[in-house]
Amino acid sequence: MVGIDISDRSIKVAEVSEGQSQHIVSVCWSSLPPGALQRGIVQNAPLIIEAITQAFQKCSPVPVKKRSVIASIPEVRSFVRVLELPAMAEEELDEAIKWAVRQHIPFDLERMYIDWEPVGEPDLSGRRQVLVGAAQRDVVNPLLEVLEAAGLRVTALELEAQAIVRSLLPLDRRGVQGVLIVDLGATTTNIIYVNAGSLRFSTSIEVGGDTLTWQLAGSLHLQPAVADEKKAEIGLRQQQDQDVATALRIATLELARKVEKVVREVGTQEGSQQAVREILLAGGAANLPGIIEIFAEIFPGIPIQMGNPWTNLVREEEKSFQMSPQDASHFATALGLALRQDVST
């Protein structure tokens, strides 16, 4: 399968082999001009189409020949929640879910695409939980038009959160308890909570790697390009450059505290007995040197590590080309999309 992840700053494509022992066939990448896509909304279709074409021309180690893709829906324009519903007949579920969604999102349902799936089995009283995903039509439709204009056939659309969970956690998630995934992108940070084997909650905050760059540039009066280079090389390591590390520490602590605020909200919704037990960092901005230690300050006692996009992939040398964990972190969403097998190509 081929997954394509279009974010505000770049286009990532990943092809994964089909069958039980899946491995990476190829990955492709291209930058996206600033402003072409803003907070998930298509602003300049021709520029995005050109960038998609360029991405497919820069694949490694082999070209991606398939043009059937699974594409991601930006997290900032979607809604993911587990909703609990009273006992009712199957034919009443769709209407009940729409009513429940209305209580959580400030949009007209006529402007949304909605899908849902059951979570576990109904309890003894017949109450059940369902995972509901919703996305705005004015985001999805232009995105589909762009992909089709680029010569791609979209076989499925999926929320970013679903793809990231599939990439970083075992495909059999029945034993997964209290995992918080913090996906740090360039412009946004996605926060995903998985408990009892199911995705329970997903949201995003408008802070990402670019925010850290801008704050560093402002603090030390640097050009953004220079600040971005220093962020990548020095990060939060005081021994290399105290001024850079101190400025980045302030910005990164602010980001981590915003994530912690969301975690408190998740705890309120899910109940204290379903606390966060582990945190996985993902996304390109998670490569910031020293970021795990900053999150450990805000979340004392909770194990924190980088998410592993290879979790469900075979890495034998004869089946997979070499890719560093840092590079792989950029492709977590695209790999998760490509790992999906329940669609026909």
**218-243 residue pLDDT tens:** 999 999 999 999 998 898 887 778 99
Q: Which of 313, 13, 4, 329 is nearest to 156 (CA)?
A: 4
Task: Select, from the ranges 68-72, 174-178, 263-267, 308-312, the one with the highest average predicted confidence (pLDDT).
Answer: 68-72
Query: Do residue 87 and residue 207 come from a single domain?
Result: no
Q: HSE (CB half, 13 Å, CA atoms) of 70? A: 25
Query: Do residue 186 and residue 114 come from a single domain?
Result: no
pLDDT of residue 8: 86
> pLDDT band at 322, cuts 50/70/90?
low
Query: Do residue 93 and residue 207 come from a single domain?
Result: no
State the CATH number of the domain containing residue 253: 3.30.420.40
Average pLDDT over all residues of the chain: 87
- Residue 261 CB coordination number (10 Å): 12
Place of tokens 């803003």: 38
> pLDDT band at 272, cuts 50/70/90?
very low
User: Is residue 273 scored above 60 in pLDDT?
Assistant: no
pLDDT of residue 318: 46
| Mean pLDDT across 142-170 | 93
What is the pTM assigned to this prediction? 0.88
The pLDDT > 90 percentage for the chain reads 47
User: Is residue 200 scored above 50 in pLDDT?
Assistant: yes
73 forms beta bridges with 159
What domain count does the chain have?
A: 2
Query: Do residue 86 and residue 193 come from a single domain?
Result: no
pLDDT digits (tens, 9 = 90+) for 90-109: 778 888 888 877 777 766 77
| Mean pLDDT across 177-202 | 89
CA 62 – CA 330 distance, rounded (Å): 19
| Mean pLDDT across 24-29 | 92
- Residue 112, judged by CB atoms within 10 A of its CB (0-12, 13-18, 19+), counts as buried
Query: Do residue 288 and residue 208 come from a single domain?
Result: yes
Listed in sequence order, the residues at least 6 apart from 293 whose beta carbon sits closer than 8 Å to its beta carbon are 236
Largest CA distance in the chain: 64
The whole domain housing 105 covers 79-135
State the CATH number of the domain containing residue 121: 3.30.1490.300
Q: How does 47-63 read in b/e, with b if 16+ C-beta sit within 10 Å?
A: bbbbbbeebbeebeeee
Say if residues 173 and 193 touch (Cβ distance below 8 Å): no
User: Is residue 317 scored above 80 in pLDDT?
Assistant: no
Q: Which of 289, 299, 286, 273 is nearest to 327 (CA)?
A: 286
Per the structure block, which two tokens stand in for 115? 């899908």
